[in-house]
């Protein structure tokens, strides 16, 4: 406690740290230097609101990785304050507790991402929180500063708070990208401290199969229902049921199928402007056809939303959502199952060939894909009187080899 009494300016670096990486460390050091703080306190989250814990590494692993990453810097400390708190973790509770520990006189600087500033008024007891500490909004180069600075100016004037802006180049590194690289067996050297990389390898972190509890499934159902119209949600439930049937019969992972099917249309009803804005923000590449037919982009946007809002970054799930509208060459069985379930769920209007596609999908996904693609192409060209995306014809030619006659 004696050392804590000497701290007059404390920066708080909160986050899941799943895993902690060089971007976090560079940001913390930059804030320490820029604001002349005595100490930077890293606070791994316990149970943050609006986050899924389906894929979140356990608190102890995240805490120990943070300790290893910060041990060499005498100005960095790590706190267990949030991981030991029962229930949901809120920033206001942490700030009040730190005020109690370090004394009311301590100046607190809460480090947060720039995007969070736009949502800060939705945080628990935000008005009081804005009075208790300064905020440091950090961004990576190329971020739209004008909109952020307008928001910061409004908050500073309206709530008499202090929100500072700081650009940090190393923020181009992200924990989700590191997790993805690990699952794809790509190197993460120099993205995380060597001690953290060794810890990840020792404990086999991030090479996991998703296993959902019934409570987690219910929570996901509620989330999706809140984002879709009743008609679209009913279709989604139908796709889930059909996809799980195909998964069982074709030996596809059950929980991965559930998530991909449930979220496949999560972005279906977004306004076109919002859809394209998300594409631009997250660097989603669109070809000329997709630009002129933006309703086809909801799969790619849906994958981003699942990863952003639920922390699920497993490529197999994201790709199944991403490619369920148009398909692609070299589709996985999970991707085929979602594509086919979307076309054959019970609530979808009957069309010529639907029953045959459904029957084939129960034991031969490739044959079912051929029939489904031909049906889709006929609908687009003959009913809608439009030109189909070039990938459709490519896929038809590929899957045609599987269209064998039954005895």
Model confidence pLDDT, tens digit, residues 251-264: 999 999 999 999 99
CATH number of 214-402: 1.10.3210.10
Average per-residue pLDDT for the chain:
90
Statement: residue 378 has pLDDT above 90:
yes
Q: What is the mean pLDDT of residues 266-295?
A: 93
In the chain, ranges of CATH 3.40.50.620 domains? 2-202
Q: What is the pLDDT of residue 168?
A: 86
Res. 405 pLDDT band, cuts 50 70 90: low
Q: Which CATH number fits domain 2-202: 3.40.50.620, 1.25.40.20, 3.40.50.150, 3.90.260.10?
A: 3.40.50.620
Q: How confident is the model at residue 53 (pLDDT cuts 50, 70, 90)?
A: very low
Mean pLDDT calculated for residue range 307-330: 91
Opening angle at CA 205, ends 200 and 206, nearest 5? 120
pLDDT at 48 over 70: no
Cα separation, 124 vs 107, in Å, equals: 21
Task: Tell me how crowded residue 263 is: count the other CB atoms within 10 A of its CB.
Answer: 29
**CA–CA distance, 21 with 43 (Å, rounded to integer):** 14
| Residue 198 banded pLDDT, cuts 50, 70, 90 | very high
Return residue ranges of the chain for CATH 1.10.3210.10: 214-402
Element (H, E) at 113: strand 107-113
| CA distance to 13, 18, 136, 150, 263, per residue, from 49 (Å) | 17, 16, 21, 27, 20
| pLDDT over 50 at 191, yes or no | yes
Per-residue model confidence (pLDDT) at position 107: 95
For every residue of 279-341, DSSP letters joined together read HHHTT----HHHHH-GGGGHHHHHHHHHHHHH----HHHHHHHHTTTT--TT--HHHHHHHHH
Closest CA to 380 of 156, 4, 74, 372: 372
Torsion, Cα of 34, 37, 38, 42 (10° steps):
-100
């Amino acid at each position: 406690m004696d050392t804590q009494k000497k701290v007059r300016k404390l920066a708080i670096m909160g986050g899941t740290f799943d895993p902690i990486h060089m971007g976090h460390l560079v940001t913390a050091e930059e804030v320490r230097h820029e604001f002349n703080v005595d100490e930077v306190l890293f606070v791994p989250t316990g149970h943050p609101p609006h986050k899924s814990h389906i894929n979140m590494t356990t608190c102890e692993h995240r805490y120990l990785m943070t300790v290893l990453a910060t041990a060499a810097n005498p100005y960095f400390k790590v706190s267990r304050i949030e991981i030991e708190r029962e229930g949901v973790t809120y920033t206001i509770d942490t700030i009040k507790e730190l005020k109690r520990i370090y004394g009311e006189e301590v100046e607190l600087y809460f480090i947060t991402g720039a995007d969070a500033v736009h949502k800060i008024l939705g945080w628990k007891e935000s008005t009081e929180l804005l009075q208790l500490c300064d905020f440091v909004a950090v961004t990576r180069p190329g971020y739209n500063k004008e909109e952020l600075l307008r928001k910061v100016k409004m908050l500073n004037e309206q709530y008499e708070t202090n929100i500072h802006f700081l650009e940090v180049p190393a923020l181009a590194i992200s924990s989700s990208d590191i997790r993805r690289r690990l699952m794809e067996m790509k190197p993460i050297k120099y993205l995380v401290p060597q001690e953290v990389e060794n810890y990840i390898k020792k404990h086999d972190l991030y090479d996991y199969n998703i296993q959902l509890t019934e409570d987690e499934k219910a929570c996901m159902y509620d989330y999706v229902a809140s984002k879709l119209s009743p008609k679209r949600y009913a279709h989604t439930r139908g796709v889930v049921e059909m996809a799980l049937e195909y998964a069982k019969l074709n030996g596809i992972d059950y929980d991965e199928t559930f998530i991909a099917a449930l979220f496949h249309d999560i972005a279906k009803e977004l306004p076109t402007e919002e859809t394209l804005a998300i594409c631009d923000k997250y660097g989603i590449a669109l070809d000329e056809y997709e630009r002129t037919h933006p309703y086809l982009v909801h799969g790619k946007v849906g994958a981003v939303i699942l990863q952003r809002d639920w922390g699920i970054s497993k490529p197999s799930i994201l790709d199944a959502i991403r490619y369920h509208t148009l398909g692609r060459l070299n589709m996985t069985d999970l991707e085929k199952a979602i594509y086919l379930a979307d076309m054959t769920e019970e609530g979808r209007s009957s069309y010529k060939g639907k029953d045959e596609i459904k029957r084939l999908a129960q034991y031969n996904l490739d044959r079912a894909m051929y029939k489904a693609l031909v049906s889709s192409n006929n609908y687009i060209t003959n009913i809608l009187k439009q030109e189909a995306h070039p990938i459709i014809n490519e896929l038809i030619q590929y899957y045609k080899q599987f269209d064998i006659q039954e005895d």
